[in-house]
Structure 1
Amino acid sequence: MTLARSLGKTTFETAQDLEAQLSHRLRLLTAEGDILALMLSRMMMRLRIAPTEASDFADLMAVQGPTEPAKGPLGSLQFLECARDWYQTAGLSDRADDMSIALAEAAVAKGIERASGASSSYMVAAHHLEKAIQQYRRTSHSYRKERALESRLADIRRLHRDYSQRATEEFERIEGRSFDLTEIAEAAEASVKGKEALPALLNFIAVAPIPSAEQLTEMHRERLAEGSIADLFGRSIITNGGRIAYKVPALAEDSKEHVIASHVVTSHQMYIGGLVQGAIAPALRALSEEHSITKEVLYELCTQSPAVPPGRETIFAMGLAAGFEWDFITSSHLVIPQIENFFRFHLKSQGVITTSLDQDGTETEKTLSPLLDLAKDCQLIDADIELAFRATLVDPRGSNLRNDLLHGLSEPHTANGAAGIYIWWLVLYMVLVPFWTRSSGEMDDSDSRLPP
Structure 2
Amino acid sequence: MAISTLNFTLTDFKEAKWEHKTLEGQAPCYHSLMRSLQDLSKMKSEAGLKEQADALVLIAQVASMRLSPDKMNEPLQPLFIDYQNDNRAVAPEDFSKEELEFLESVLSVVTDPWLKARIADLLWISKKPKDPSFARKAIDAYVSHEIDISTWEFDVKHCYARALALCRQLKEWERFNKIKNKLLSNINSESNENFRIVVFIANFVHEQGIDKDDAESIAIVLKAIGDSCKASQNFSLARDCFAIAAKKFEQINSKTEWAGCLFEVGRCFQEEGELREESQNSIANSLYEQALQAYRRVPKALRSPYDVESQLNKVQQKMEETGLATLDEMALIKTPTHDISETVELSRKHVSGKEKPSEALRYFVGIFPGFKYEKMIKDAEHQMKNYLFSSLFGGTHFSNDGRVIARVPAASLANDDSSNNQKVIERNVLQNFGIESQVIIQGNILPSLNQILLEHSIERELLVSACYLSPIVPENRHELLGYALWLGFEYEFGNAIHLLSPQIEHIVRTSLKEAGAKTRRSDENGITNEIGLSSLLELTECKSVFGEDITFELKAIFSEALGFNLRNNVAHGLLDDNSACQISSVYAWWFTLKLVLKSI
The normalised TM-score by structure 2 is 0.42
Q: Match of 1:210, as an amino acid?
A: G
| Aligned ranges 1:266-285 → 2 under 5 Å | 266-285=431-450
1:183 to 317, 329, 342: 342
After superposition, what is the alpha-carbon deviation per residue over 1:196-217, rounded to whole angstroms, capped at 9, x for unaligned?
Answer: 2111110000001211111111
2:407 match: 247
| Aligned ranges 1:135-284 → 2 under 5 Å | 179-195=338-354, 196-226=356-386, 228-252=388-412, 253-284=418-449
Please say which of residues 221-230 and 187-196 is displaced more in the overlay. 221-230
Any idea what SS the aligned residue of 2:578 has?
Answer: helix
After superposition, what is the alpha-carbon deviation per residue over 1:108-156, rounded to whole angstroms, capped at 9, x for unaligned?
Answer: xxxxxxxxxxxxxxxxxxxxxxxxxxxxxxxxxxxxxxxxxxxxxxxxx
Structure 1: 5+ residue stretches without partners: 1-176, 436-452
| Aligned ranges 1:50-449 → 2 under 5 Å | 179-195=338-354, 196-226=356-386, 228-252=388-412, 253-374=418-539, 377=542, 379-435=544-600
Any idea what SS the aligned residue of 2:544 has?
Answer: coil
After superposition, what is the alpha-carbon deviation per residue over 1:418-440, rounded to whole angstroms, capped at 9, x for unaligned?
Answer: 110001001101110133xxxxx
After superposition, what is the alpha-carbon deviation per residue over 1:29-79, rounded to whole angstroms, capped at 9, x for unaligned?
Answer: xxxxxxxxxxxxxxxxxxxxxxxxxxxxxxxxxxxxxxxxxxxxxxxxxxx
Any idea what SS the aligned residue of 1:380 has?
Answer: helix
- Could you say which structure has the larger radius of gyration? 1
After superposition, what is the alpha-carbon deviation per residue over 1:67-105, rounded to whole angstroms, capped at 9, x for unaligned?
Answer: xxxxxxxxxxxxxxxxxxxxxxxxxxxxxxxxxxxxxxx
Q: What is the Cα deviation at residue 178 of structure 1?
A: 8.7
Q: What is the Cα deviation at residue 236 of structure 1?
A: 1.1
1:18 match: none
1:7 match: none
Runs ≥4 residues deviating over 6 A? none
Q: Partners of 1:358 and 1:200 in 2: how far apart?
A: 49
2:234 match: none
Q: Partners of 2:592 and 2:540 in 1: how far apart?
A: 15
Q: Partners of 1:388 and 1:243 in 2: how far apart?
A: 24
Change in Cα spacing, 1:243 to 1:377, as seen in structure 2 (3 Å) is: closer
Contact 2:536–2:542 (CA under 8 A) maintained in structure 1: no
Any idea what SS the aligned residue of 1:412 has?
Answer: coil
After superposition, what is the alpha-carbon deviation per residue over 1:325-368, rounded to whole angstroms, capped at 9, x for unaligned?
Answer: 00001100111110000011111222222111212211110111
Contact 2:343–2:443 (CA under 8 A) maintained in structure 1: yes
Q: Partners of 2:442 and 2:526 in 1: how far apart?
A: 49
Contact 1:193–1:200 (CA under 8 A) maintained in structure 2: yes
Q: What is the Cα deviation at residue 227 of structure 1?
A: 5.2
Q: Partners of 1:397 and 1:329 in 2: how far apart?
A: 20
1:54 match: none
Matched residues, number: 259
Change in Cα spacing, 1:321 to 1:227, as seen in structure 2 (3 Å) is: closer
2:86 match: none
Structure 2: 5+ residue stretches without partners: 1-335, 413-417
Q: Partners of 1:413 and 1:292 in 2: how far apart?
A: 27
Q: What is the Cα deviation at residue 412 of structure 1?
A: 2.6
Any idea what SS the aligned residue of 1:188 has?
Answer: helix
Contact 2:559–2:567 (CA under 8 A) maintained in structure 1: yes
Q: What is the Cα deviation at residue 376 of structure 1?
A: 5.3
Q: Partners of 1:297 and 1:230 in 2: how far apart?
A: 47
Any idea what SS the aligned residue of 2:568 has?
Answer: helix
Change in Cα spacing, 1:201 to 1:254, as seen in structure 2 (3 Å) is: closer
Contact 2:515–2:541 (CA under 8 A) maintained in structure 1: no
Any idea what SS the aligned residue of 2:479 has?
Answer: helix
Q: What is the Cα deviation at residue 193 of structure 1?
A: 1.1
Any idea what SS the aligned residue of 1:245 has?
Answer: strand
Q: What is the Cα deviation at residue 380 of structure 1?
A: 1.2
Q: What is the Cα deviation at residue 222 of structure 1?
A: 2.3
